[in-house]
Chain A
């Protein structure tokens, strides 16, 4: 009886594992291209850096001059990333 139960469990799992190989038709579209995913991640990281720099300025860690220079630099980088995302042109993904 136990052996039968074990065989049933193994058969169900094997069917589950090979199911994608039995799928016919075109492959489902990737939710995002690797390049797009990288750009989205870089964009999020830059947004976080801009926000952190703002918080650092409000807390007195960055002088007004330092913050202005840093903020402008980060925004330049972010704009460049946004342009590349526009050029890539597919849908955005989510981050983990």
Chain B
């Protein structure tokens, strides 16, 4: 079946080329048959790439090592679930995923806009087909996932151990889908620029795609941080790593875009800003793909080689230069229809929050690329660490949280001073009382930045709660019923508004958790042998005993520990951290091979809503080096030789005996680790409120889904009819 997938991949750029050519020719000649044919070519592209993906996944499931990609990223011992997800751990597989998601999203948007935007859609189709052409050509020329090996190896290299984690099965798909889906509003923006149809119609047609891209990217970032927290063993969830930053930048600029397009939709303002923001978001999404795949900056998240870096940079340059030229040439058509009437208006707040979000992205961009900038000027790569990022992002984040609360309180156009005071006094009172309570009962006064952030977040949460309260009360006054029923009704009738408020509440919760878990974290590195204890904050941690386990299916050897934790003399928790070692397929040494490759941490943690007690371990295996080398030497001496004619029955028997000896040697080593415990380095962290980072993120995602969910068509029509009837009366008088 591999040839079928390869053939479909070869046909994909042809479909893209045809779609782009037919779309442009159709637009120029006004021939709608050509335009429809170009849309169908995008559907065909989707079908071709779907076949390619299915064929490749089938090759992974069958462990078909004649496919180089399968041999390099899977093995017969890789669990079935991870065989399915191994595709996107590779360069070719992840680029195929990019192209496939693009073809699905493009087909979706072209289906939804069929028969509409006659002038704009063909150019948007051409842009989407152009992006598709780039990625399918990149696959064919630089990272063909269907490249074959002859002869096929008997066993594959297996999946990178760090990626054998449930989060890693979903995280890359979410992140890539987030990156890819920004192509849709970008393509429509370019179409609008080319055709000079620069009203808000392109925004309305792609708003949901932008929101879904934002949700996917957000979920991807949250899952990545959770993976980092529970798998990497360094104790944090965010390290300002280049690849982490690369995903955050388009999310920040995309968030700014989602806010500022509302200003254009309602007030006809910020047109240049909006097209610039979507170009920046898409460029940063490409940059994210480039950073993961190029290996140009060091990252614990980068699993790619550098073969596609150059072409990706070329595409980024084309996008920037082409879009900038187009925007400059259309400046006359991009003039605002109105001006901001009052600083006390929602559009003013949106403008401020846009500047803050873009400011954050600029700071992160500078910090991320500083190694390259410094190398260009000084010849040496210098990187900026977490303290630098914290110093410059924290003030911007604090003000942003404050505006998360202010924005929903204000009406569009203008709010009178009297109304404004009536709206803010309760949230201010709540924020003041809550902040004083935090300062009184914790040592928050020692962390002024965190305290200010708490105050802003409390204000935002109180303001949002008041919004829901007032909305439900207004609905109740109109329709009666219970308070909860009224709340449900007002949310479902105003999904965009209240979905956005839920997102804001989630963000405020997330920021409280970030400030609390980072400012009030207690962290200790302890070196313990069984029976010894160490103190971490209020907790006494005792290393009770070592543990071991062997997973023959995954070829995994695990050295663990049992830790007893007491607090104020009372038993608090028993933790089971472990360090996992995977047999290396590239090493000749049976035992040493486990310790030459990547190892993963199984974090031991106790989670509660008040905070996590988190620990990771690293046994000091140096004393075992001589034992391991001796065992490997003895095993190697007994390795039966097999001639080129294939093994004789006696040699097969000898091979079986050798495999048994290998298994016994591994079991003996594990038993030795338990019988003669070695010192272990433990990192123990007390992370207050850390779980609220992901709970806050989940609240935001739910809010995003509420905002994106369409109102039933019948209800939309009914509402329109009500207003139409009302206006018809006015029309009669007009």
Interface residues of A (CB under 8 A from B): 2-3, 5-6, 9-10, 13-14, 16-21, 23, 27-28, 30-34, 37-38, 41-45, 47, 49-53, 55-56, 58-63, 65-66, 70, 75, 78-79, 82-83, 93-96
User: At the interface, yes or no: B7 with Cβ under 8 Å from chain A?
Assistant: yes
Q: Is B11 touching A23 in the complex (CB atoms < 8 A)? A: no
- In the bound complex, CA of A40 to CA of B412 (Å): 22
B410 touches A61 (CB 8 A): yes
| Contact of B477 with A by CB under 8 A | yes
Determine if A18 and B37 form an interchain contact, defined as CB atoms under 8 angstroms apart: yes
Is there contact, CB below 8 Å, between A17 and B730? no
Q: Enumerate chain A residues within 8 angstroms of B418, measured Cβ to Cβ.
A: 63
> Is the beta-carbon distance between B731 and A20 smaller than 8 angstroms?
no
In the bound complex, do residue A62 and residue B411 qualify as a contact, i.e. CB atoms below 8 Å apart?
Answer: yes
Contact B414 A66 (CB under 8 A): yes
Q: Which of A17, A44, A63, A95 has the most CB of B within 10 A?
A: A17
Task: Give Cα A62 to B200, complex, Å.
Answer: 26
Within 8 A of A (CB), among B345-375: none
**CB <8 Å contact, B208 and A56:** no
Interface-centre pick from A30, A47, A53 (highest chain B CB count, 10 A)? A47
Closest A residue, CB atoms, query B45: A13
CB neighbours of B412 from chain A (8 A): 49, 52-53, 56
Give min CB distance, B564 to chain A, whole Å: 55
Complex CA gap A21/B32 in Å reads 9
Closest approach, in angstroms, between the C-beta of A87 and any C-beta of chain B? 13
A5, chain B: closest CB distance, angstroms: 6
The answer to whether A19 and B40 have CB atoms under 8 Å apart is yes
Q: Does the CB pair A63–B37 fall under 8 Å?
A: no
* Shortest Cβ gap from B451 to chain A (Å): 30
Partner of B7 from the list A3, A59, A66, A83 (CB cut-off 8 Å) is A3
Contact of B33 among A27, A32, A34, A47 (CB under 8 A): A27
Q: Are B4 and A58 in contact (CB under 8 A)?
A: no
B-chain residues with CB within 8 Å of residue A95 when the two chains form the complex? 204
Segment 393-437 of B: residues with Cβ below 8 Å from A: 409-416, 418-419, 422-423
In the complex, A51→B723 CA distance in Å?
9
The reply to whether B411 and A56 form a contact with Cβ atoms under 8 Å apart is yes
A-B contact count (CB 8 A): 156
Since A42-B200, A51-B723, A96-B205 are in contact, a sample of 20 more A-B pairs with Cβ atoms closer than 8 Å, ordered by chain A residue number, is: A2-B3, A2-B4, A3-B3, A9-B51, A20-B36, A28-B32, A34-B118, A34-B119, A41-B204, A44-B720, A49-B266, A52-B497, A53-B411, A56-B411, A59-B474, A66-B419, A75-B727, A78-B723, A79-B730, A79-B734
Closest residue of chain A to B34 (Cβ to Cβ) is: A21
Residues 682-734 of B contacting A (Cβ, < 8 Å): 713, 719-720, 723-724, 727-728, 730-731, 734
Is B15 interfacial (CB-CB < 8 Å)?
Answer: yes
Within 8 A of A (CB), among B488-543: 494, 497
User: How many B residues, CB 8 Å from partner?
Assistant: 67
Would A55 and B727 count as touching, CB distance under 8 A? no
B629 within 8 A of A: no
Q: Report the nearest B residue to A19, measured CB to CB.
A: B40
Which residues of chain B from 3 to 43 have a CB within 8 Å of any chain A CB? 3-4, 7-8, 11, 15, 18, 32-34, 36-37, 40-41, 43
Q: Which of B50-80 contact A (CB under 8 A)?
A: 51
At the interface, yes or no: B593 with Cβ under 8 Å from chain A? no
B411 touching A61, Cβ below 8 Å: yes
Query: In the complex, what residues of A have CB within 8 A of residue B32's CB?
Result: 27-28, 30
Contacts of B43 in A (CB 8 A): 16
Question: Which residues of chain B come closer than 8 Å to A18, judged between CB atoms?
Answer: 37
- Please name all residues of chain A whose beta carbon is closer than 8 Å to the beta carbon of B33 when the two chains form the complex: 20-21, 23, 27
Separation of A2 and B430 alpha carbons in the complex (Å): 70
Q: Is B112 an interface residue (CB 8 A)?
A: yes
Say if the beta carbon of B467 comes within 8 Å of chain A.
Answer: yes
Q: Note all chain A residues with C-beta closer than 8 A to B119.
A: 34
